[in-house]
A and B are shown apart, each in its own frame.
Chain A
Amino acid sequence: NAGVTQTPKFRILKIGQSMTLQCTQDMNHNYMYWYRQDPGMGLKLIYYSVGAGITDKGEVPNGYNVSRSTTEDFPLRLELAAPSQTSVYFCASRLAGGERTQYFGPGTRLTVL
């Protein structure tokens, strides 16, 4: 198993540009999550999904959109990039029920100039 994979690893955007951060997991996990981590801080939840077709907002959803058309993929969309969205973005997944361990991807470092 590759676990949770994220692409790209790094990206620089201009203000107002849009992009999609990709996240894929091959562990057949129902639940998937997107977090952002600002310098020197812990992770904050942006959006999450409990299964294909179901998504919900986390703590900091403004400026982002998500979709979950398959169990494996959970892309995060930025429509109008702003400097405040400069951050490292982590995707995570876990099984439904039982132990609630979330497994994290390696992250995407995004800079908006």
Chain B
Amino acid sequence: GQQLNQSPQSMFIQEGEDVSMNCTSSSIFNTWLWYKQDPGEGPVLLIALYKAGELTSNGRLTAQFGITRKDSFLNISASIPSDVGIYFCAVIQGAQKLVFGQGTRLTINP
């Protein structure tokens, strides 16, 4: 099946640092999504990208849809403790299916 390669797998940073993670695919997709999952919870949508080259912000989060439609990145600026969690990229395959990356686990040292 389709695979999304998400990196890094984990990050250990100091509070206040900026974070960058990315997701690549061998296939073209028309929608890229970024989700965050807190421990014991389901994923929550952070940002949705619908147009190649699009740069979208949601507070301290910024995500870009790559111009080739095969990649996306997510940046978090000035990290705070509540940013801890697992971040997943996802694409919509066909009409229905969400395909997820393996996730990036973010840990923040106070």
Interface positions of A (Cβ within 8 A of B): 4, 31, 33, 35, 40-45, 48, 50, 56, 58-59, 90, 92, 99-107
Once the chains bind, are B103 and A58 in contact (CB under 8 Å)? no
Once the chains bind, are B42 and A42 in contact (CB under 8 Å)? no
For B64-91 the 0/1 string (1 means CB < 8 A from A) is 0000000000000000000000001010
Q: Choose from A48, A58, A99, A107 the contact partner of B42 (Cβ within 8 Å).
A: A107
Per the bound structure, the CA–CA distance linking A102 and B92 in Å amounts to 11
**Chain A nearest Cβ from B57, distance in angstroms:** 17
Once the chains bind, are B103 and A41 in contact (CB under 8 Å)? yes
Query: Is B7 in the interface zone, CB < 8 Å from A?
Result: no
Query: Is B45 in the interface zone, CB < 8 Å from A?
Result: yes
- Give B17-34 interface residues, CB cut-off 8 Å to A: 31
Contacts of B92 in A (CB 8 A): 100
Contacts of A42 in B (CB 8 A): 4, 6, 88, 90, 100-103
Once the chains bind, are A104 and B43 in contact (CB under 8 Å)? yes
Once the chains bind, are A107 and B41 in contact (CB under 8 Å)? yes
Once the chains bind, are B97 and A59 in contact (CB under 8 Å)? yes
Q: Choose from B41, B42, B45 the contact partner of A101 (Cβ within 8 Å).
A: B45
Besides the contacts A44-B100, A104-B44, what 14 more A-B pairs have beta carbons closer than 8 Å? A4-B42, A31-B96, A40-B103, A41-B103, A42-B4, A45-B97, A45-B99, A48-B96, A90-B43, A92-B42, A92-B98, A99-B48, A106-B42, A107-B42
Q: Choose from B6, B98, B99, B102 the contact partner of A102 (Cβ within 8 Å).
A: B98
Contacts of B102 in A (CB 8 A): 40-42
Query: Is B1 in the interface zone, CB < 8 Å from A?
Result: yes
Per the bound structure, the CA–CA distance linking A102 and B99 in Å amounts to 12
Per the bound structure, the CA–CA distance linking A45 and B2 in Å amounts to 12
Query: Is B40 in the interface zone, CB < 8 Å from A?
Result: yes
Contacts of B90 in A (CB 8 A): 42
Contacts of B43 in A (CB 8 A): 43, 90, 104
Per the bound structure, the CA–CA distance linking A50 and B56 in Å amounts to 29
Of B48, B88, B97, B102, chain A has the most CB atoms within 10 Å of the CB of B97
